[in-house]
Amino acid sequence: MNRWLFVGAVSGFLAVGAGAFAAHGLQTLGTLGEREISFFRTGADYHLIHSLAIVAASFAARDAAAAGRAGAAAWLFTAGVVLFSGSLYLLAVTGSTALPLVLATPMGGLCLLAGWALLAFAALKSN
């Protein structure tokens, strides 16, 4: 089994669901303002983009020379999705500005950036 391909596919499935919920479900609830819906949509957009990045890392990991860096990139993308998108989802729905939640967003963003850097280094190492 290609673990990262599986993780990327499940993440993509969840991202599409989150995007659909942002487009249809949140507005019908009527309890969230445009700002909160915008947070949720941003989380869903980044979630989907980085689900595809996990899939890309899964294919890069097939190359033995790049496998370690590609696998680390997939881990960072996954952590970034959980921290960045997850914190935006929670912020939108709960309105909480608790310090751990507020800090999770930039930490997730840093994970996403580091994932892209490692994927680039993996590409340089590949055959």
pLDDT of 52-67, one tens digit each? Answer: 999 999 999 999 888 9
Please tell me the predicted confidence (pLDDT) of residue 78.
98
- Selection from 79, 77, 86 nearest residue 55 by Cα: 77
Round the average pLDDT of the chain to a whole number and report it.
93
> How does DSSP assign 73-86, residue by residue?
HHHHHHHHIIIIIH
Cα gap 78→82, rounded to integer Å: 6
Cα gap 119→39, rounded to integer Å: 27
pLDDT of 66-123, one tens digit each? Answer: 899 999 999 999 999 999 999 999 999 898 889 888 899 999 999 999 999 999 999 9
Banded model confidence at residue 18, pLDDT cuts 50, 70, 90: very high
CB atoms within 10 A of CB 85: 28
Count of structural domains within the chain: 1
> pTM value?
0.93
pLDDT of 29-40, one tens digit each? Answer: 767 888 988 999
Cα gap 38→58, rounded to integer Å: 30
C-alpha distance across the termini of the chain, in Å? 23
Residue pair 87/39 in contact by the 8 Å Cβ criterion: no
The Cα angle at residue 122 between residues 116 and 125, in degrees rounded to 5: 150
Domain range for 108 = 3-125
